[in-house]
Amino acid sequence: MISQTKNIAIFASGNGSNAIELIKHAKKLNFTIACLICDNPHAGILKKEIPIPIHLIEKTKSKKEHEREILKTLERYQVNWIFLAGYMRILSEDFIAKFTHKHPTHAHSRIINIHPSLLPKYQGLHAYERSFANNDQFGGITIHYVDAGIDTGEMILQGKFERKNEDTITDYIKRGQELEHGLYPKILERVIKYDY
């Protein structure tokens, strides 16, 4: 039986298809995700029916102030793990430091991200598009712990998919996202069960 000592928040800024898969998978495990934080009032995820509390905390000019607001909300739920699912703001070092893993052999943050490339290739924005434009034979995704760099944290899992000759960019992204939706919930399950 899974004890609910982990309080997990999801951060999303866009469509939230990964967020939805995570929430669905948690439900299958009888686990409740504490809340979803969104920083974008135009995000598609806000139009969807989500069975957990959603907090829209809009970006402010100062990242410090924004993160302070977010932290206040996370404290209410005693959040100790964060899954980034298309969250479009880089977290500060101070923020990340608040979520360090206490486990003796796992010195990384308790913040996990999914990135649409086989890192270290295509760090940053528009990774599928850049991979497609380069005619890569394979695309891929990486799930990693978050550190203070951009898509540089310790890797947890990678998955790759083959580009088909007839692929348009839309097909390519779709194939990548299907992979994301299959793999990200597995890592959520690992955190829920084993706390790393």
User: 169-194 and 17-28 are packed helices; what angle lies between their axes, rounded to 10 degrees?
Assistant: 40
Active-site residue identified among 115, 126, 144, 181 = 115
| Cβ–Cβ under 8 Å, residues 70 and 52 | no
Stretch 102-161 residues interacting with ligand GRF (CB under 6 A): 114-116
Residue with tokens 């409740």: 32
The verdict on 188 binding ligand GRF (CB under 6 A) reads no
Stretch 61-80 residues interacting with ligand GRF (CB under 6 A): none
The verdict on 185 binding ligand GRF (CB under 6 A) reads no
Nearest CA among 150, 46, 173 for reference residue 89: 150
- Report d(CA 118, CA 122) in Å as an integer: 8
Residue in 39, 67, 136, 180 binding ligand GRF, rule: CB under 6 A: 180
**Preceding peptide of 51 cis, ω within 30°:** no
Residue in 18, 40, 80, 109 binding ligand GRF, rule: CB under 6 A: 18
In whole angstroms, how close is the CB of 72 to ligand GRF at the nearest point?
24
The verdict on 39 binding ligand GRF (CB under 6 A) reads no
Nearest CA among 145, 152, 127, 112 for reference residue 22: 112
Q: Catalytic residue at 115?
A: yes
Residue 44 or 195 with smaller CB distance to ligand GRF: 44
Interface residues with ligand GRF (CB under 6 A) are 12, 14-19, 85-86, 114-116, 177, 180
Catalytically annotated residues = 115
